[in-house]
Structure 1
């Protein structure tokens, strides 16, 4: 069992013996012979358990235990005493000790006690971490759910939100892929910029190309004025390519070039327009399978698949809904999304 142990005993020979034996059992042991130095050290370093002798000069094990518990209540303290009386045990427990061991120390019993203490501390730390993840999830754009699968989503979302890495979100229809994309945007440094979404399955190839890249005046019938595409509209923010697996093969090379060059040429235009956009893609399709079947470009898949996020189906979210019913959809009324 691994774990970080702070060993406190004013008897150097006992410290040397216990440190050697516990190290052989897999623990990482820091030893002190001055109990006064223990409290500053546990504030600075992440120990899993404190193992302290009871009778020491300057500061008793009971007093040290009380101070550790007062400052770090989740850090277990195991007290070692030569006096195995009930009064001694009660005094140690009242001081907040996790457990006590009597001298002469039986190593198997000590290792068992320290292992339980380390597991107790690590479990408490995990509870704190997961509690924070759940609390953070309440601010993630209306996403709900507390199952292990959703906790992984919240954790990954929080870790990657502030980067510019392209994210591809996989999930069944209705699992809240657009909500996750919005949460990535809202928690990023681009939050003050626009969030724009387009459903790649909702329009034919020519119209989708015009939506993404814009068009020049006169580029086609009824193009009476130039119009900026969604890449340009999302400049400084985030662009969601929803249902990207439905993008026509003929349009995929132009999308790939735009992502590589960070520039887009409007339909019928003579010049490319630079953009600064964080791209998030979403799909319910198996894109890797589509690549093998030559229905999706491999180079585009790898360009999009920098960070992969799997959304669990609603049935795997502990009986909670995926999203708040009041959450709205895309900022682009011309580009409906399905999420």
Structure 2
């Protein structure tokens, strides 16, 4: 028994001898192991394509979503040889609504085993209520070179166009422009098709609306006027071609219409119209997009729709419009009495 205890004491002394040095060696070995493992790892930075999220039917995007997101892949060099095009970033939000929405980012598929992917956790995306409006088409027509002709009446088909997009953007729009048209004088009737100009971001033409507009331009001799035989002049008030509930057009502008006919037409046959691109905001009672709208084209209408009249020129061809809220008259005592009688 004494021999066993003596040997146990010797083992204890052997284990405790230089224990600090042995512990230090163990720590150094562990650090060296992880250092070797770490130095074998590399970081690869790539840009991964973003999958644009679907939004509810009544909403529309109103902020840009980047096409790519920077992703840092960290792991062993020997497994870094992969195609980043196989990955995509998806945006997750279970219940987006109008305004700013925070989307969580995720990457699919998962990176290879042993690789860590680092990228932003979230992204803010702005959504807006999806709206649709009808707006007038406005062109920019000029002659290519100086000559003895002038631009006369311009007709467009269609005269208005429907657009859809974020309500906050559409609310401040008063027109859709056409690409500029430069006309080389030739035949008296110049006809062509003109593309719709670039629309504001996130706004597009509504379904079934044309991207090209039929345009016809009268080119008149510089001397053509009402003193020429067979040419007449008529001054007409301009009226809104569309209903503007709760609003009225202040002091309807007037235009002078130069037309060719066998005789002066009867009063009321020709009328001047323009599309009034305004509405009354039901919440704020403000006139949107503004109470003053400049440069809207005027179109002449023939009540009989006959070919015996040729519209040569409308001066001015565009008008400035001003609107105000239509005042609702208070009911008279008689009307109040009738209402009370009906209630009883």
Shared fold, TM over 0.5 = no
TM-score w.r.t. structure 2 length?
0.22
Of Structure 1 and Structure 2, which has the larger fraction of its residues in strand? 2
Bigger share in helix: 1
* TM-score normalized by the length of structure 1: 0.22
Higher-Rg member (1/2): 2
